[in-house]
Structure 1
């Protein structure tokens, strides 16, 4: 029986290896090569939440990567997918993704597709959803503070998890607990009940604000505002599926224009979400 972890591409052979902490320096080298801003610490965070494979040639040079993140027994997300242009042209990207799909079992799947990988995911049976816009830049201004917003406290975490599950369509407990550990947070509390939250943590070239979950666009702006103000003059990023309205207007006014897009995709059944708890900014593109 042929070894499914090896493939001959042109005149050299590729091996699929499990991603381990020891592989992170090579993966960081790979992501820098395709223009990603991820630090080695960001790769380490991904590995705490999921598993995956990376492709190397005979002398150990990295050529591709892919990970999957279990969210629930019946749901997983795919991410951290990188293939060099040379491999995309020769089918190695599909070979790598088929190995990842074999590991996810019968779970429903979701991901964010780059322009380069979009056609591959369509061929693998994924359906197309809305685009996500990557807003980033050096903060030049900050929206006015909203008196309803206060700093998040540890005793808010239970309410935040429940709110996030309503917005996300599943309880991503492990990922959210890790983000809470790494982040500063804000909440809106009305009538003794938490109705929105936002997190901000170190990522890439600076910081990222997300998730931001709120009942209305105005609440999303209010929750993000303290984090934007705290990083005036520094690099900040937010990823959002919003294309207009108060939240996007705030991003543009604060010096965070749209930089790039990815496409939301899924395979299986889409998750129902609560319109009273909307995601205005993602945690990141790999985990949604």
Structure 2
């Protein structure tokens, strides 16, 4: 008999072990970050951890679900559906976003999620082509400071409708986060670099246009020659072709699905050229 309960830090090792079985890249530290920023549900059978799922509330009307994992020995028994329903109950009035594997897509459709697009996972095991950073004279690139958090949170929300102050504060305090601003101090975009999975991940990348996104990514790639680098980008935006020229090949294309109303950025506002993670978006 399957029972469900709230996840605690003591469950991280069990969840990590399952993602290792599934050959997902997540480290223990990635699991801890997911739990720190969100909340998880654990499925047990006779006291044994057999699966889990996470949810993150991003403001009053937006949430994401991800890291839905079931021990391979227990798959096919509806445990994934039980976990999904338990997490969805936490966000009854929210527009919920997730990124589906081909295996999970059918279940999510039955739960009311609609396909809205896809993302492209680009990565390289050893970054060979480190792009030059060309910043026009009318723009300035600098490290983000705690005082920037409120503005970056608003710009982040412009791009995808999610209000994520806790995440933005964490990115500024714990990781390398850079922003681009014009001569009038107006921010043209920001991006973060952090350890994740097999090496480094760049994201989120929030920018007004492709040129700004490329400048931010190029700046964060300095010093990463020979390192594993990953970027997840929206398939509807024109970043992928440039990533390919840097040797970051596409290795996956999960489906973006929404239960509720999809977010549509306004003309002239920020766009999400890079995700934080597939789970958190």
Normalised TM-score (structure 2): 0.91
Match of 1:4 in 2: none
1:231-269 alpha-carbon deviations (Å, 9 max, x no partner): 111011100013674x22331122210111211111112
Q: Pick from 9, 13, 17: which aligns with 1:25?
A: 13
1:107-122 matched pairs, under 5 angstroms: 107-122=94-109
1:109-163 alpha-carbon deviations (Å, 9 max, x no partner): 1111111110000000111011111111121112221223522231433332221
Tell me, yes or no, if the aligned pair for 1:131 and 1:263 is still in contact at 8 Å: yes
> Residues 72 and 243 of structure 1: is their aligned pair in 2 closer, same or farther, counting only changes over 3 Å?
closer
> Residues 213 and 144 of structure 1: is their aligned pair in 2 closer, same or farther, counting only changes over 3 Å?
same
Q: CA deviation at 1:55?
A: 2.1
1:1-288 matched pairs, under 5 angstroms: 7=1, 14-58=2-46, 60=48, 62-137=49-124, 138-147=126-135, 148-154=139-145, 155-190=147-182, 191-242=184-235, 245=238, 247-275=239-267, 276-288=269-281
Coordinate RMSD, CA, aligned: 1.8
Q: Residues of 1 paired with 2:20 and 2:140: CA distance? A: 37
Tell me, yes or no, if the aligned pair for 1:83 and 1:93 is still in contact at 8 Å: yes
Which stretch of structure 1 is more off in the superposition, 70-79 or 83-92? 83-92
Q: CA deviation at 1:173?
A: 1.4
Tell me, yes or no, if the aligned pair for 2:128 and 2:226 is still in contact at 8 Å: yes
1:159-186 alpha-carbon deviations (Å, 9 max, x no partner): 3222112112232112222222222122
Secondary structure, in 3 states, of the residue corresponding to 1:77? strand
Q: Residues of 2 paired with 1:243 and 1:170: CA distance? A: 19
Q: Residues of 1 paired with 2:70 and 2:103: CA distance? A: 9
Q: Residues of 2 paired with 1:108 and 1:72: CA distance? A: 10
Tell me, yes or no, if the aligned pair for 1:198 and 1:210 is still in contact at 8 Å: yes
Q: Residues of 2 paired with 1:221 and 1:20: CA distance? A: 38
Tell me, yes or no, if the aligned pair for 2:130 and 2:246 is still in contact at 8 Å: yes
Number of aligned residue pairs: 274
1:166-217 alpha-carbon deviations (Å, 9 max, x no partner): 1122321122222222221222111221111111111111111001111111
Which stretch of structure 1 is more off in the superposition, 196-205 or 158-167? 158-167
Secondary structure, in 3 states, of the residue corresponding to 2:103? coil
Q: Residues of 1 paired with 2:71 and 2:10: CA distance? A: 21
Gaps of 5+ in 2: none
Which stretch of structure 1 is more off in the superposition, 224-233 or 141-150? 141-150
> Residues 180 and 122 of structure 1: is their aligned pair in 2 closer, same or farther, counting only changes over 3 Å?
same
Gaps of 5+ in 1: 1-6, 8-13
Q: CA deviation at 1:230?
A: 2.2
Normalised TM-score (structure 1): 0.89
